[in-house]
Structure 1
Amino acid sequence: MTKSRSPAGAAADQSYSPLYFLASLGAGGLTVTFFMYLMFWVPHPGRPVPLFEDLMTVFAKDSLPMKGGVVVAMLGIAVFAFLNVKVLLWNFAALSRFKKTDTYSDLCKTNGETTLLAGPLATAMTINGGFIVGLVFVPQLWSVVEYLFPAAMVAFLAVGIWAFRLIGHFLGRVLAEGGAFDMTAHNSFAQLLPAFALSMVAVGLSAPAAMSGNSLVVGVSLVLSTFFGVTAMLYAAYASVTAFSSMLMHGTAREAGPTLMVIVPLLTVLGIMMLRQNHGLHASFDVHGAPAETLVLLARILTIQIVFSLLGLLVMSRQKYFSDFVFGNKLSAGSYALVCPGVALSVMLHFFINKGLVGTQIVDKFSLSYWVLTALALAFQWAMIALVLRLNRQHFKGAATAATAVPAE
């Protein structure tokens, strides 16, 4: 394999895998966790999201703790948005070099071809993160936002087409050629990566439905996001059922243990898509939903996420995954998949608390019980920050002295 030059280090250079796009994805996800502070703590009357002007109002009039929260959120968004873009650009350069190697040709003949979907997945997250950066740091953005929504949908459609082309090449090969898919290597949820990529495109396409005042834009957003969202659900259902059958026969692939929890971020992304669509239906087409319905929807999503999180932790603890690949001397690009569930749980808890419990008046906003529950979301967030910093030190800094594992299929 040709050696790539990275902003960092030897392990990622010497054993590149498309799964390193997940390093960019994780940073982008952390950007969203900091935006949750602003989304649910900062007043933004008359608009579905907070803007730069709302933050300036906090600095001018609010209490010191609120100002501190906004400062932390803005710093977190700036740092992790920068890291998100930096690692994404490095991945594009490294992938370009990787495609010229025999290793890439071999990858495209195995189940592992779907790891290429990490590219559109991370790119869609970066577009979402870019919109957050604009809301937080660009004055008067709302005055031109209606021009930005069509452009954003075109960008997400381009990423969606890229994802479909990769999926089409993979499915065309394995469905047309007998024996091209190895069921014995299907003993993980790694094959849910295409569904995750499609869901990230779907949530991006649903943003105009929640924020645009133009009924045509909202309608197009609803239809396109539904197409990609439902496709993601169908793919996830098929891939998870067949994978679980293989895991029962062959056990879970040890290095692919983190994929058991890919359901968690997949559901958070699809859940946000549904909330955005419901808001668009309410604001533009006078279709009303009760707060209790939102509470039940979020509770169901959170329940499934908790179940799959416990399953993944159980299997990985039995296989001693953390002692080897997180705290030990073995390296796997797939370890970055561990960041996604923690980030997704943090984000979903914010929505469950604010849109579910507060929305139904079960919990009063900013009460003691509110902050106790919110502390759980913050704990997941800061644990994932520590994990990202740990993994970046392992994979992107220093000499590659640790054993490097082959990417999971």
Structure 2
Amino acid sequence: MAYHQDIKIGVLGGGQLGRMLLQSAIDFNLELHMLDPDAQAPCHQLASSFTQGALTDYDTVLSWGAPFDVITIEIENVNVEALRELERQGKKVYPQPDVIALIQDKRTQKQFYQERGIPTAPFILTENREDVAQHVGFLPAVHKLGREGYDGRGVQKIASKAEIHRAFDKPGLLEKLIRFEKEIAVIVARSSTGEVKAFPAVEMVFHPEHNLVEYLFAPARLQQHLSEKAEDIALKVAEELKIVGLLAVEMFVTPQGEILVNEVAPRPHNSGHQTIEANYSSQYEQHLRAILGLPLGDTACKIPSAMVNLLGEAGHSGPARYAGLEQVLELSGVHIHLYGKKITKPFRKMGHVTIVDTSLERLQEKARFVKDTLKVIA
């Protein structure tokens, strides 16, 4: 597709990822048109047009998508059949509907890795809680909902037979609990022309209870051969899927130096926010380049970085206030991104802070300071 400024791009989802995608689209003088179920979604005042509507409703997605040349997503919980019909009508839909459908279900995702020789933790497919109870010998394990798990929801650790009651009573998968040293992610872009590039691996630290990324460091503190291995695995996943757009590949690094794919997201991702300040091309710019068939950008880090997620404080619900913001802004190398969400609630993603510094020690100190100082309260 020849690049021209009049390309009409529709984006399913109008959350914070869409908001940052919009900021990148402005540099290309592109208009983005958003659909989101929340009338007050972060993009509602910023998009070229904003439509309130259900992302999972066939008729809504089909009629909304009719005017656009290219349709993309910032969340994967969307109506795939409507996207398939739009594709049949000649629209470019990236990532492709079949890729979204495969990734929407963690069961088909894991089977895909197994069939394609992509390293992943051992697993058993389960239909209900009773099914899980038949596999006590497989414990300790993590039980994951097949569909609709998101932002830490739909994941339950089961250490022993006494904890079987925690299992979901819906189709899911029982995944062997892996001892790992690090959780990392590699974001890959694959263009409609077939060009592929990976961002350097990042290291993620998760909230111990809520399974949300609290902060990350980029590039990951890994031996060179492990960094290269992680990138190779992520590139293989993208090539096997033949995805067009971005693919975030989350992985475990074991004490033995194994790298196992945990799961993937076919869109911009929390593990790539820091690329806005720290890399030559951001993940958002790269996504636009990929879906428009433009040459992919340079993914190299300009400077080491850390990213701290701003989550709503426990016990606080209501109009958001940002305590400690002034103290954080006094630090050098700090950039605050607020997502435009007026109402906070416990552990809601309200923003993030990127920190850049040439010293890893200073990055760690600043990340801890930001995490301890900047609080989203009501």
Give TM-score scaled by structure 2 length: 0.27
Relative to total residues, which structure has the larger helix share, 1 or 2?
A: 1
Structure with greater contact order relative to length (CA < 8 Å, sep ≥ 6) = 1
